[in-house]
Amino acid sequence: MDSATYPTGEYPPVVTDAPQPDTWRKVATHERREIPRIPYSLDAGYRAITEELFDIWSDRLYTNRIRYRYYDGKNKLKDFGISTPPELLHVETVVDWPNKAVSALADRVRFDGFTAASEDVQTLLDGVSERSRLNVKTRQATHGECIFGPAFATVGVDDAGRARIDFHSAEAASAVWDDAKGRIAYGMVIDAFDNGAPSFVRVFTDSDVLMLWDNGDTFDWQIFPHRMGRVPMEVFTYRPTDRKPFGQSRISRAVMSITDDAVRCALGGSIAFQFAVSPQKWMLGVDRDPFEQKTRWEAYIGNWLAIGYNGKDGVMPQVGQMQQPSMQQYSDYMRSLAARFSGATNVPVSQLGIIHDNPASAEAIYAANEPLIIEATDVIEGSRDTMRELARMCIAAERDASYDELTDEERAVMANYRNPALPSVVSMADAAVKIAGAVEGFAGTSYFWKMIGLPEDARREIEQTQQAATANAVLTSLFGADNGE
């Protein structure tokens, strides 16, 4: 491989206005190691694509890490240097509101399997769901898109030629959007890191998969063609726009700013509480230091405190206590911050630890959750389209065909999601029974069993039992008719 070098720099990369040679690119660092260099032996077109994808990944890595720190509750205290004593700046204070902003929405987006037009396709997709653990992985992908904006998924086959779906965080993937086609033009996933630097990378195009692996200071590479006819990669996005087709993070600048305020308020409240439970005392007219033989804390908690009379000046000692500081201002400010955070994320205030004296009615609870339910519905609509495309690519991959060669029956795939309102089993069962009474034959459909809240394995067992019972009834009637003759 060509070992030509590129200029290097510290992360984040710095772009100068000076003209650069055609071989120049920004080289970012992940943790402490530099990204291995793209070899010159690679075709110029692939080298340009790979460099662009690395640039996109590295440019967004810093902000992605910051948002994950807020999600993980490890954001640093941003103190004003006014009210917090320097000795107490190291006190760890955690406000998990960004985590709540993500989980409150993501928990309402629940994948519920594929529905196909034929039994063969249904069996194929059921196998894909089982191998890919979609019930778990899709929820992780939803959390990822809420944290970072996008979450990526790729389609491939295992050694046995069976299709599967793999999911990738935005911290280990990047892509370029094609507006004309309405999908990814080309993308990259980082499958492995070595001491913090990418060591195994895959680049996806419409015709090939480029694999790169670390060989010390550069990459070795190999190109594998595929028959998909399109990039076998899709993206889940939170609130995509024309200017941001890969979405935007739910941990927005407003969320981070309010969280910083809440951390300062929580720390200030903790410090104020310590002064509130041990208010300052004062003494006048003492002849000596009353704390010579004990600490100030021992003197405070002791049952008796003896103070000597100042006979020299003829002044009677006086003991007093300063006014106890109030915690109300901290509580009020935290409520105000919670209200602002709720307005920015649609998360009800009650889920942020702000408890009201009077319990809310069922109607009030639903009304408080309605904006979040609407937002979850929007996420589900986008995720349903993405999962449908992934399912079609899985069918093509397992059939060893291109995406355009799929039949109408194979394209007729639906991705199912549960109701984001998460109604109770009792209310869903009641609604299902009422619909079954009004629509003839509805009680025998699989959707009826879904509505009453039965899991997938229970639904399948019931359907198989019903089919077996029907078959037995047919056989019994046939043999009974023969015996009657």
User: 368 in a domain, yes or no?
Assistant: yes
What is the crossing angle of helices 119-132 and 362-399, to 10°? 110
Residue listed under structure tokens 């009474």: 437
- For every residue of 420-436, DSSP letters joined together read TT---HHHHHHHHHHHH
Task: Check whether residue 298 and residue 430 sit in a common domain.
Answer: no
User: 22 in a domain, yes or no?
Assistant: no
C-alpha span between 284 and 167 (Å, rounded): 71
pLDDT digits (tens, 9 = 90+) for 69-94: 999 998 888 877 777 777 777 778 88
User: 10 in a domain, yes or no?
Assistant: no
Task: Check whether residue 185 and residue 304 sit in a common domain.
Answer: no
pLDDT digits (tens, 9 = 90+) for 434-478: 777 777 777 767 777 777 666 666 667 777 777 777 777 777 777
The better pLDDT of the pair 113, 6 is held by 113
Which of 321, 353, 388 corresponds to the end of one domain?
A: 321
pLDDT, residue 92, reads 81
Task: Check whether residue 78 and residue 214 sit in a common domain.
Answer: yes
Task: Check whether residue 254 and residue 337 sit in a common domain.
Answer: yes
Q: How many CA atoms lie within 13 A of 264 on its CB side?
A: 14
What residue numbers bound the domain in which 349 lies?
A: 71-278+324-422
Burial 277-291 (b: 16+ CB within 10 A, else e): eeeeeeeeeeeeebe
User: Residue 141 — very low, low, confident or very high, per pLDDT cuts 50/70/90?
Assistant: very high
CB atoms within 10 A of CB 299: 13
Q: Is the dihedral of CA 441, 447, 449, 453 positive or negative?
A: negative
398: phi then psi, degrees, rounded to nearest 5: -75, -30
255: phi then psi, degrees, rounded to nearest 5: -60, -45
Query: Distance of CA 162 to CAs 155, 396, 420, Å?
Result: 11, 11, 32
Task: Check whether residue 411 and residue 433 sit in a common domain.
Answer: no
Task: Check whether residue 385 and residue 410 sit in a common domain.
Answer: yes
C-alpha span between 29 and 33 (Å, rounded): 6
Nearest to 207 by CA among 195, 222, 225: 225
Asked whether residue 24 carries a pLDDT value surpassing 80, the answer given is: no
211: tokens are 């694999």
Specify the number of domains making up the chain.
3
476: tokens are 């019994």
User: Residue 302 — very low, low, confident or very high, per pLDDT cuts 50/70/90?
Assistant: low
Task: Check whether residue 147 and residue 212 sit in a common domain.
Answer: yes
Which of 292, 321, 350 corresponds to the end of one domain?
A: 321
CA diameter of the chain: 132
Task: Check whether residue 354 and residue 398 sit in a common domain.
Answer: yes
Which of 404, 422, 440 corresponds to the end of one domain?
A: 422
pLDDT, residue 357, reads 57
Asked whether residue 136 carries a pLDDT value surpassing 60, the answer given is: yes
**437 residue type, one letter:** G
Q: How many CA atoms lie within 13 A of 365 on its CB side?
A: 11
How much is the average pLDDT of 370-379?
A: 94
User: 108 in a domain, yes or no?
Assistant: yes
Task: Check whether residue 408 and residue 460 sit in a common domain.
Answer: no
Task: Check whether residue 338 and residue 411 sit in a common domain.
Answer: yes
Asked whether residue 312 carries a pLDDT value surpassing 70, the answer given is: no
Lowest mean pLDDT among 134-138, 236-240, 323-327: 323-327
C-alpha span between 195 and 343 (Å, rounded): 41
Q: Are the beta carbons of 442 and 434 closer than 8 angstroms?
A: no
Asked whether residue 366 carries a pLDDT value surpassing 80, the answer given is: no
Task: Check whether residue 255 and residue 106 sit in a common domain.
Answer: yes
Beta strands in 309-375 (DSSP E): 318-321
Query: Distance of CA 306 to CAs 103, 287, 290, 318, Å?
Result: 58, 12, 8, 12
Task: Check whether residue 448 and residue 311 sit in a common domain.
Answer: no
C-alpha span between 233 and 151 (Å, rounded): 11
Q: What pTM value is reported for the model?
A: 0.78
User: 354 in a domain, yes or no?
Assistant: yes
Please give the distance of CA 434 from its chain centroid, rounded to a whole number.
Answer: 37
User: 190 in a domain, yes or no?
Assistant: yes
User: 39 in a domain, yes or no?
Assistant: no
pLDDT digits (tens, 9 = 90+) for 388-441: 999 999 999 999 999 999 999 999 999 999 889 877 666 677 777 777 777 777
User: 52 in a domain, yes or no?
Assistant: no
